[in-house]
A and B are shown apart, each in its own frame.
Chain A
């Protein structure tokens, strides 16, 4: 039985194609992925991200637990700020990549939908090592994401408050809503944590304001252009945040944490693989799982983790793990043919 967000009926009314995703019935697109993508790059779009897992950690040792299980330094968080972080296993592999919010009385973790049950169980297990901490899920809240250069102006207008000064990774409270300067598109944006019972009404206020509803399809093309990793594609339990290129979110100097020793060893001995961007001259798209070969000697060097057509660059792009390269190019095997690709920085698009 698939789970639903409170907005499923709204999506159906808007004519969305609905697909199973991470155990939820989610909209993949409403009309055109490219139009939804461009709305976010040029103006504003709204996403239902009610599938994301929301976890509450509270008690005197909440920070101690978070510091133990995550790679970033949560002690640096001031009240009403949030940070990107990674949950690693003892081998330095990734259990999930998360956002940690510091709220007045507790911490809030935003986990990937596909990992929610696993993360909740992991945190509850780890919490047993602490006397004064409780871990639970927020069953009655969900998230909406408003993304694009006009997102703060439009959200401010709809909610009747000034959001133009809201900084990245800061949050404010408005009535029963948490509004954070966050997102997963490479654009300016805000995300709202709202009561599930209020979500349809709030969603409709943005739709009535003319905001483009956007589905998972555009969410994927947007995050790929911005070079943002997605769990299950770039991240998994055998891949470390260092390999993904997220060493900035691993703070070795904060004290011990799960995976620290393995990550430190990896840092000192060198990475086995590295996440890179690939750009193509042709139109064929390198999809997930396609093999990559050294352009000079045809030795297998890795695999594509995510590939799509970039609406902004108007050409195919991909993320891939490779273990080495000779020069600036590799060959990607697409339907039996070796297609040359240029190895580039992961950030295909920067606003």
Chain B
């Protein structure tokens, strides 16, 4: 059973086709890079996987659970750290984690333990009572990850998690993501920093203008002295891109 199975998925906004009949699978335990320029359909796909957006064509399932028919089970298995800070900026960090744990049905004891664990793992001890808006950009990113991990999901979806993060924190995040991936978490990762995708991911897909233009092991993108960036530009140009 795949961690993520997308079959003939299409998303339309009125007459505009944002994602055009894509099929994709992510195996359990993979660190999967999902790349593409702005507006290519990455975030739209992620929104449809997680329930932020609706779709009527194709199917998406997470560990065998259809995201429409069996949405409760599917969503319990997903943790999302989105590109934008979609958080109550006036809420204190501890409360944010506490409430999210509750939404996922965690008991008070479980929530209390996990909240403290997340605060410790992401080194938020000094900031736990601060409102989200009072934090620096790097700390905000940590909170987003802590929130995504709060209910201990099996599939972690990270939409540009290192955007606006300084070098030190970026390295810390990489180490943390590698560690949880080695511990068995499946990660779907998008980023515009191709060197970090090359460093972290073992399989990669490139989406361009709503279509998957390449998918395969990292080795297929970096063979014969080439690197991911060269291959990425080559593929998006070949597909009619302007980059």
Are A and B part of the same complex? Answer: no
Interface residues of chain A, those whose CB is within 8 Å of chain B, are none
